[in-house]
Every structure is written in C-alpha cells, then in structure tokens.
Amino acid sequence: MNNFGRVIEVMTSNMKFTSEFYNIEGKVPFDNDPLPNESEIKIWNLSDKTINNIKRGEILMLNSGYKGDVGLLLHGYISKVSTTWQGVDKITLINVLDSEDISKREVKEIAYTKGTLASQIIKQMAGYIGLPIAQMELNQDYRYQDGYTAKGQVTEIISKVCKDCGTSVYINKNKLYIRNLRRGGDSVFKLNKDTGLIGTPGRFEDGATKGFNIKMQLQHRVTTASVIDLECSQFKGRVHVRGGSHTFSRTGDFITEVEAIL
C-alpha cells in the first residue's frame, strides 16, 4: 500500500468538509472502557458563518482512508468548538465525544431480586445511557444469588457488572460493546510491511497480558477488538486490539497506532 490519495471527510449539520478543499487534521482515540473518548479535529480557514453552524451537541461523522478505500473513523457528538488565529490562518478546533456525555448519568438506587442475572442489569443500565448495544457476549452471565443494588454512575455500574462476568465493555462509534476482546465475529486484517506496517512493533508486558505496540498507515478497519494477523521480523501470529488512535492530516501523519494483546 502506498500512502497516497489521502481522503478526510467531516460531516455535520448538513455540511461536508473534505481534505480536497480544506486543510484538516486531528486524532481519534479508541479504547476498551465504557467512558466516551474525545477526539480532536482541526479545520483551517472556515468562514464565520460556517463556524457558527458547527454547534455543540450536533452529530459529527468522520470518514478517512485512501481513494477507493474510505471508511468511518468517528460517529459522535460535538462537545466544544473554538477558533484561534496563527498568523493569517484561522483554525477551528472541534472536540467530539464518541457518544453523548453520559458521565453524569446516575441512578439513585435500584434493588434487584435474588438470582438476577448480570445480563438483565446490563440491559437496563444501557437503556439509561441511551446507547444501542452493538454486541453483548458475556464470558459468564453471572447470577447474583443474594440480589444486587445498583447505585451511582451508570457507566461504573455497567463496568462492575461486566467485570463480574469477566467481560470487557466499551463505547465505539456511538454504540455499546460488551464482549471478550479475543472473541467475536470480527474480520481479520492481515498486517505486514506490504499492507501498511510501519517499523518494528515493540513488545510490552502488562501483568499477565503480553502484546505489541504497532504503528501502521491509517487503516479505518482497525479499532477496539479488531483482529490482526501480524507478520514482522520478530513475530508471526494473531493479536487483538485493546486500544489506540487514528492520526490524520493532508501532509503530515496519516497513521493508526494500536496496543494489541496476544
């Protein structure tokens, strides 16, 4: 793959900005926890009228890739818009959460009866934060023999219940995923120097978890829980993405960096 024909598309409020006509750059993070990630997008030299139409709370979508191979990197809600000047250039910074801001959503107290299954609690809590469940595959649907009391921040409740089930939970592209990072119906992406691998992956060890820090040319198919068949000088085998980021610009970095576990 050659790093040519870059495409960046930003869409919000019936407006579309493309890297063909605008200088656009930014970073989209992704991870495996239930709190929304905040992305940054910068667009150069927009008119005042256009800037006024980019509003907090509106949906924003970002596509990126190469001509003939473009995909969705971000689907979220604008959390902040600010404009600064650098010399003669006017730069508008748009912050985007990959879901609505759900950090303040709480429940006072909900008591579940003896024998309640974790899946029942998760589904009800997901309803409170208003996110569709894209996948739910629990390692174990834990049964609370003595009942369960849900109280406090909804995201923390979901996280604790999923931990009891030995299962990861995260938000990605405005959807909720409850699943094992190493198991699922994800397509496999073959990564080597011919398909975009940059440099040599660095090994890491995090407690009982081992894996690689990997850098590649920007790849919209790769996100949390993606399956990568990695081939490099020191390793050949399958890894699973735990987190990372996409960094994009017209002339600078156009890369995807991930932390992938064995």
| pLDDT tens-place string over residues 168-224 | 999 888 889 998 888 755 678 999 999 999 999 999 998 888 999 999 999 999 999
Q: Are residues 150 and 213 located together in one domain of the fold? A: no
**224 closest CA partner among 179, 167, 159:** 179
Q: Is the domain of 10 the same as that of 93?
A: yes
Q: Give CA–CA dist 241/226, Å, rounded.
A: 5
Among 172, 173, 221, CA closest to 196: 221
Residues 90 and 23 in one domain: yes
The domain that contains 150 carries what CATH number?
A: 3.55.50.10
Helix or strand (DSSP H, E) at 96: strand 89-97
Residue 79 confidence (pLDDT) above 90: yes
Of 155, 179, 203, which residue is a domain's last?
179
Residue 71 and residue 39 in one domain: yes
B/e letters for 136-157, b = 16+ CB within 10 Å, e = fewer, are: bebeeebebeeebebeebbbbb
Domain-embedded: residue 199: yes
Together in a domain, 87 and 139: no
Given a cut of 70, is residue 238 above it in pLDDT?
Answer: yes
Residue with tokens 């496999």: 188
Do residue 92 and residue 116 come from a single domain?
no
Residues 86 and 29 in one domain: yes
User: Could you report the per-residue pLDDT of 11-30, keeping only the tens digit for each?
Assistant: 999 999 999 999 999 999 99
Residue 255 lies in a domain: yes
Q: Are residues 42 and 67 in the same domain?
A: yes
Residue 143, in any domain of the structure: yes
Q: Which amino acid is at 87?
A: G
Asked if residue 76 belongs to a domain, the reply is: yes
Establish if 126 belongs to a structural domain: yes
- Where among 132, 153, 179 does a domain terminate? 179
Residues 168 and 220 in one domain: no
Of 100, 150, 94, 162, the C-alpha closest to 129 is 100
* Domain final residue pick, 97, 127, 153: 97
pLDDT by residue (tens digit) across 125-152?
998 888 889 999 999 999 999 999 999 9
Q: 172 — phi, psi (to 5°)?
A: -150, 125
1 has a pLDDT exceeding 80: no
Is residue 1, in this structure, part of any structural domain at all? no
**Tens-digit pLDDT profile for residues 53-78:** 999 999 999 999 999 999 999 999 99
Are residues 175 and 205 both part of a single domain? no
Among candidate residues 196, 209, 190, 220, the one with its CA nearest the CA of residue 260: 209
Q: Domain containing 93 — which CATH number?
A: 2.30.300.10
Among 233, 230, 223, 225, which residue's Cα sits nearest to residue 257? Answer: 223
pTM assigned to the model: 0.88
Judged by DSSP in three states, 248 sits in strand
Would 82 be classed as within a structural domain? Answer: yes
Phi and psi (nearest 5°) for 119?
-60, -35
User: Do 160 and 207 sit in the same domain of this protein?
Assistant: no
Q: Residue 124's domain spans which residues?
A: 106-179
Task: Judge if 34 and 67 occupy the same domain.
Answer: yes
Please give the pLDDT value at position 184. Answer: 55
Residue 114 has pLDDT above 50, yes or no: yes
In this predicted model, which residue has the larger pLDDT, 105 or 83? 83
Q: Is the pLDDT at 104 greater than 70, yes or no?
A: no
Quick one: angle between helices 154-164 and 118-129, nearest 10?
A: 160
- Count: domains in the chain: 3
